[in-house]
Amino acid sequence: MAGVQLLALLSLAVAASSLSMGAQATTGPDARKVGVYELKLGDFSVKVTNWGARLMSVVLPDSKGNLADVVLGRDTLAEYFNDTSYFGPIAGRVAQRISRGRFVLDGKVYHLQRNDGKNTIHGGGTAFSKSAWTVKEYVGGGDSPYITLYYRSFDGEQGFPGSLDTYVTYRVSGPYTLGVHMNATARDRATPVNLLLHAYWNLGGHGEGIGRDVLGHTLRLHASRYAVLDAELLPSSGRVAPVAGTPLDFRAPTPIGARIRQVTGGKVVGYDANYIVDGEPGSMRPVAEVRDAASGRALELWANQATVQFYTGNWLNHTEGKGGEVYNQYAGFTLETMGYVDAVNHPEFPSQTLRPGQEYKHDMVFKFSF
């Protein structure tokens, strides 16, 4: 009997250890392989799940010391399994849109899964964002908490050629800094790669400001040019134009809503624009600063990518969110650093092709203040 009791106690200890890593019991695709992992440094907390290598929450104080989560999303993992709003995942193998779900590489035509009308978006319907990644390393506390996630994208996944080894590391450091580091290596065949983090932000925070939209947030973008997109949000003309004199000009700090009604060309009113970040692609440089005057919170983004997609949650419509809140249009914004949209079909844009053994590197740093 004593042996049985000891075994039971050991089993409970193992279960408690698993839960201390943040594993959240649930049911759904690969549920036994999916958990929630917290990175905590003082009163700064970040939660990540390996389902889609997804950023679930970022909690930090406002100017009065009140803590709130500034990332839109869901309450439970089960809800993320069926998420269609792309709350917080890593999107790939090629994020954003690919015209007509096809491209030519080395003389061969590749046909992809179309999940955005006639086009492919964010790699296809069951791509990186809807897969269980492997937790390679996890340190939840200390001076620099981090988690590294791994995903093997197989040859032919969603129609893309070659297998691809992909790693994403989320790292918290002080004061109130979150680094997101993505790298991928082509294993056996040439393939295009263009990853992004699709996190929605509202610096007002849940329980405080999510009821407000982000139109009052002040935005500055370090971008003097943008890729001209058509009604399908594709750069069909291949043109790059100056932002000067357009409602896309955020070179000086400007409320997001100041000119949003002047943005035309899309199917709904709002920003979903691809900006060319000033400076040299491949080098870390400032991308954007955002401030919410009501809470005092501010976000500064640095990255090494060529472009940033600025999106204002135009399609959010009575979307169930965290804590019973409902997200409506403009409830959050995204700043998705990446390569040029649809570069696989535009030789005038920088190539996104990796040859076997070549490595893709994408670094982002979010610096918060209040």
| Amino acid in the structure at residue 344 | V
What is the pLDDT, as a whole number, of residue 78?
Answer: 93
| Whether pLDDT at 17 is above 50 | no
What is the pLDDT, as a whole number, of residue 85?
Answer: 94
Using the structure block, give the residue that is written with the tokens 């400032």: 286
Nearest to 149 by CA among 74, 41, 39, 40: 39
Nearest to 181 by CA among 60, 291, 48: 48
| Amino acid in the structure at residue 176 | Y
What is the pLDDT, as a whole number, of residue 24?
Answer: 41
**Would you say 231 is a known binding-site residue?**
no
Give the pLDDT confidence of 236-287 residue by residue, as tens digits: 999 999 999 999 999 999 999 999 999 977 778 999 999 999 999 999 999 9
**CA torsion 96→365→191→233, rounded to 10°?**
10
Q: Is the peptide bond before 175 cis (omega within 30 degrees of 0)?
A: yes
Where do the structural domains in the chain lie, given as residue ranges?
3-369
Q: Is the peptide bond before 187 cis (omega within 30 degrees of 0)?
A: no
Q: In what order do the strands lie in the sheet with 146-153?
A: 134-139, 146-153, 164-173, 177-186, 359-369, 298-303, 285-291, 218-221, 254-255
Integer Cα distance of 347 and 344 in angstroms? 7
Q: Are 215 and 256 in contact (CB under 8 A)?
A: yes
Integer Cα distance of 314 and 219 in angstroms? 17
Give the pLDDT confidence of 324-352 residue by residue, as tens digits: 899 999 999 999 999 999 999 999 999 99
pTM above 0.75, yes or no: yes
Binned at pLDDT 50, 70 and 90, residue 32 comes out as: low
Structure tokens at 297: 């919170």
pLDDT exceeding 70 applies to what percent of the chain?
Answer: 90
Q: Are 288 and 221 in contact (CB under 8 A)?
A: yes
What is the pLDDT, as a whole number, of residue 5?
Answer: 35
- List active site positions: 198, 336
**Would you say 327 is a known binding-site residue?**
no
Structure tokens at 34: 């999916």
**Would you say 318 is a known binding-site residue?**
no
**Would you say 241 is a known binding-site residue?**
no
What is the pLDDT, as a whole number, of residue 208?
Answer: 62
Question: Under CATH, what is the fold of the domain 3-369?
Answer: Beta-galactosidase; Chain A, domain 5 (2.70.98)
Integer Cα distance of 143 and 172 in angstroms? 8
| Whether pLDDT at 12 is above 70 | no
Triad 241, 243, 249: Cα angle to 5°: 160
Using the structure block, give the residue that is written with the tokens 């844009």: 349
Triad 236, 242, 248: Cα angle to 5°: 85
- Cβ atoms < 10 Å from Cβ of 293: 14
